[in-house]
Amino acid sequence: MPTRTASGLVAYVNARLLDPATGLDSPGALLTNGETIADVGPGLFQGGVPSGIEVVDCRGLCLAPGLVDMRVQLREPGEEHKETLKSAGEAAVAGGVTSMVCLPNTYPVIDEVATVEFVARRARKIGLAKVYPYAAATKGLEGKELSEMGMLAEAGALGFTDGTRAIRNALVLRRALAYAATFGAMIVQHPEEPALAEGGVMNEGELATRMGLAGIPAAAEAIMLERDMRLVELTGGRYHAAHIATAEGVAVIRRAKAKGLAVTCDTAPPYFALNELAVGDYRTFAKLSPPLRAEADRQAVVAGLVDGTIDAIASDHAPQDQDSKRQPFAQAEFGGVGLETLLAVTLELHHNGHLGLLAALERITHAPARLLGLAAGRLKVGHAADLVVFDPGRGWKVDSEKLRSKSKNSPFDGRPLQGLAVRTVVDGRTVFLRDA
């Protein structure tokens, strides 16, 4: 890794600058001064870099804002055998992710100011990717009593969610939306009707029947969303639906947006790159929540990304240890790791002709940052120098055993991908550099 010059200035030259926030896609250079971006543009350093400035030659590769991952389970505190802030940070920067937002389903639950501050303090000390927490919408994630949202927001919580659990009680969700609206905060819902999902382990349909597995109907997503849209209309609150996975779900969000409701949503790479067939021979790495759906649903998710119905892409990183996954399919835990594959699988949307390169990058940089109110995800003078240099054409094959995450449960294990982070910079410091 480069050493910092006395001046603290670093010039990234011979780069393809990509900034989805402004539409910039041009050869050029970028200058950092300490922790911030000092200058950026196509004409920068055309006459050469002045002496005293450290030079990083990007060799024509893409230089973009660091990725902002708005849905990550970190497992610390409480389940450090599955993941820690350090192991997640190492996986994140290897994938070009410079900011992560973590779910509150830890032990203890992130429903008090002290826990919010613990996560932020630990992440700063580790010094890899930045970590921002969501706080629990209800105390203990029990879906009954609202958490102290005002105090938690002041302490740094970026939004409120019950994580992998839906807020099933309509009155509780109504109150949460109304309360959070008083200070502009977002309620993030896991959109799945719990009674319909209970006991199910994969997508309901012919394949589940053939495999003898209990199914979760696609309607479980749409039913919860339809109810929630009424509550958004009633309260005027900000609502974000996580990991949309079905055609019906996309349609509900599309209609809500057409009505002008304050509704946004994200999806995760498995839902536009895989379908239920990935479960194959009872493959537990493909047991996710929500489950992988039918091919028609996958295509609808892609269409939702193309037309802007789906605002952002999040990794939905959910590490599970070997003991949790090496079980009969019905008993295995839900979830897959995704920090190191987020960039490459998102770039499939570009390589397959669905989205332009800037549009694909926008879903994992500027869009999530905008939703969360973070000054991140763009190449802007004065902003933090959180950057990724990546090779969009570099091929590689996912080998779950080589992933930096403490858990290895990737649904993309064995899949050939195109696109790889070469250098990741956080606050002007190179925190990851890939061997040639």
Residues classed as catalytic: 316
Residue of 252, 245, 290 lying closest to 272 (CA atoms): 245
Cα 84 to its chain centre, rounded Å, is: 17
3-state secondary structure of 14: strand
Question: What tokens does 400 get?
Answer: 């779950």
Which helix (H) or strand (E) segment holds residue 155: the answer is: none
The structure tokens 């639950």 sit at 109
Within 8 A by CB and 6+ apart from 168, the residues are: 143, 193, 194
CA dist., res. 244 & res. 193, Å (int): 13
CA pair distance 177, 231, nearest whole angstrom: 8
37: amino acid identity, one letter: I
What size, in residues, is the chain? 436
- Nearest to 55, CA basis, from 36, 91, 35, 29: 29
Quote the CA–CA distance of 377 and 21 in Å, as a whole number: 8
Distance (Å, whole) CA 275 – CA 286:
9
> Largest Cα–Cα distance in the chain?
69
Strand-pair partners of 188: 161, 240
Q: Using CA atoms, how far apart are residues 97 and 74, in angstroms rounded to an integer?
A: 14
Show the tokens assigned to 230.
């009424």
Instruction: Give ∠ CA 162-167-171 in degrees, rounded to 5.
Output: 135
Report the C-alpha dihedral over residues 149, 72, 372, 97, rounded to 10 degrees: 150
User: Residue 310, by phi and psi: left (phi above 0), alpha (psi -120 to 50) or beta?
Assistant: beta
Bridge partners, residue 215, by sequence = 202
Q: How far is CA 51 from CA 9, 33, 39, 128, 416, in A?
A: 10, 15, 17, 29, 42
Closest CA to 76 of 13, 121, 34: 121
